Amino acid sequence: MPKKEDLLDKISRKPSPNNFTTRELDTLLGKCNCDKFSGGRGSSIAYCHRETKQTLQFDGPHPGNELYRYQIKMVLKFLKDIGEID
């Protein structure tokens, strides 16, 4: 299982990675004190930070499981908002 720092480095790369998977996102946000929850539309992905109660929600990528660039930007903004990256 990858370390939190390795996943943060991977998702923060410039240009944005095109192979960051939803499984890696689950691992990263779990290590950042977030809980995954379901709700909303069928393919939505959502996380809630345990301390700040901030949420991140978007439709899951399909047909594959690699995040799109706009989703990576949303994740990076969320990580900044919860204080995990500068």
Give the predicted TM-score (pTM) of the model.
Answer: 0.90
Per-residue pLDDT reduced to its tens digit, 13-27? 999 999 999 999 999
Instruction: Name which residue leads in pLDDT, 53 or 63.
Output: 53
Per-residue pLDDT reduced to its tens digit, 3-62? 999 999 999 999 999 999 999 999 999 999 999 987 666 778 899 999 999 999 998 888
- Judge contact between 28 and 82, C-beta under 8 A: no
- Judge contact between 82 and 32, C-beta under 8 A: yes
Contacts of 19 (CB under 8 A, 6+ apart): 66
Predicted pLDDT at 44: 87
Residue 48's beta-bridge partner residues? 35, 55
Taking alpha carbons only, the member of 3, 1, 15 closest to residue 76 is 15
User: What does the domain layout of the chain look like in residue ranges?
Assistant: 4-82
Q: Would you tell me how many other CB atoms lie within 10 Å of the CB of residue 47?
A: 22
| Tokens of residue 69, six digits | 């660039």
